[in-house]
Amino acid sequence: AQRVTQPEKLLSVFKGAPVELKCNYSYSGSPELFWYVQYSRQRLQLLLRHISRESIKGFTADLNKGETSFHLKKPFAQEEDSAMYYCALRVGNQFYFGTGTSLTVIP
Amino acid sequence: NAGVTQTPKFRILKIGQSMTLQCTQDMNHNYMYWYRQDPGMGLKLIYYSVGAGITDKGEVPNGYNVSRSTTEDFPLRLELAAPSQTSVYFCASSSSGGATGELFFGEGSRLTVL
């Protein structure tokens, strides 16, 4: 069965420090993975997708099939990065979400 | 452009009552989804629809019903509310089954069953 695991419920880092939000997945097929973000008082929205290999707001995520991971990274955290982050796996028409990590960037 | 609109935002129900959570989107998306989110848990798919007249069960469909008579609307019906259905409900839509990975979410509906 497919599953997405985000081991950290809460993560705090200082402004300017690197940040890494962990995501591991379980899926026998070829995965399509995404990161979604929810800022305070805003809707859940797409941050980035692995297939695009893009950097959004300074965030990147690399798919590691050997480790079945899709960790989200940013070299220098900013206060505006404080938000709830969800890793998601798409299988067919369905998306499976992790439990989310609440990131707080301390000024 | 309103995107995905859910109503109501908050609702308290008594056990055994029924209600409908409304969801409408104005982006002409074919795919629509209902998720629930319990505290400390990820989003769980309840039902989804790939177009008008077509619906399918997700991971946690028990206790819910849906219909999709138009492209715009995808209401979620709770027939006999139970405390286990206390949750935050999210409606989402996408243009191509999420082929690009982009789901557009509503603001959520917080439901409490007492």
In sequence order, what DSSP letters do the residues of A26-79 get, joined into one string? E-SS--EEEEEEE-TTS--EEEEEGGGT--BTTBEE--BTTTTB--EEESS--G
Please, which pLDDT band fits residue B39 given cuts at 50, 70 and 90? Answer: confident
| B 42-61 residues with CB < 8 A to A | 42-45, 48, 50, 56, 58
Could B100 and A49 be called an inter-chain contact, meaning their C-beta atoms sit closer than 8 Å? yes
pLDDT at B24: 97
- Residue A89, CA distances (Å) to A82, B42, B50, B85, B109 in order: 23, 12, 18, 24, 24
Q: How confident is the model at residue B101 (pLDDT cuts 50, 70, 90)?
A: low
Mean pLDDT of chain B: 92
CA distance B33 to B60: 12
Per-residue pLDDT tens digits for A51-95? 777 888 999 998 998 999 999 999 999 999 999 999 999 988 888
- Contact residues for B86 (Cβ-Cβ < 8 A; gap 6+): B111, B112, B113
Q: Select from 2.40.40.20, 3.40.50.300, 3.40.50.261, 2.60.40.10 the CATH code of A3-106.
A: 2.60.40.10
Query: If one looks up domain B4-99 in CATH, what number appears?
Result: 2.60.40.10
**Confidence (pLDDT) at B98:** 55
Q: How far is A23 from chain B (nearest CA, A)?
A: 13
Which residue of B lies nearest to A48 if distances are taken between CA atoms?
A: B101
Distance between CA atoms of B24 and B44, rounded to whole angstroms?
20
Q: How confident is the model at residue A12 (pLDDT cuts 50, 70, 90)?
A: very high
Count contacts between A and B (CB, < 8 Å): 54
Asked whether the beta carbons of residue A95 and residue B98 sit closer than 8 angstroms, the reply is yes
Q: Which residues of chain B make contact with A40, given a CB cutoff of 8 A?
A: none
Tens digit of each residue's pLDDT (9 = 90 or more) over B70-87:
999 999 999 899 999 999
Task: Give pLDDT, residue B112.
Answer: 96
Amino acid B78: pLDDT: 95
Nearest to A65 by CA among A36, A37, A25: A25
State the DSSP code for B69: S
Identify the band that residue A20 occupies on the pLDDT scale cut at 50, 70 and 90.
very high
Q: Which amino acid is at B109?
A: S
How many Å lie between the alpha carbon of A78 and the closest alpha carbon of chain B? Answer: 24
Count the neighbouring beta carbons within 10 Å of the beta carbon of residue B14: 8
Most A-contacting residue of B100, B109, B110 (CB-CB within 10 A), to test interface: B100
Q: What is the dihedral of CA B10, B15, B20, B23, to 10 degrees?
A: 40
Residues in chain A: 107
CB spacing of B43 vs A92 below 8 angstroms: no
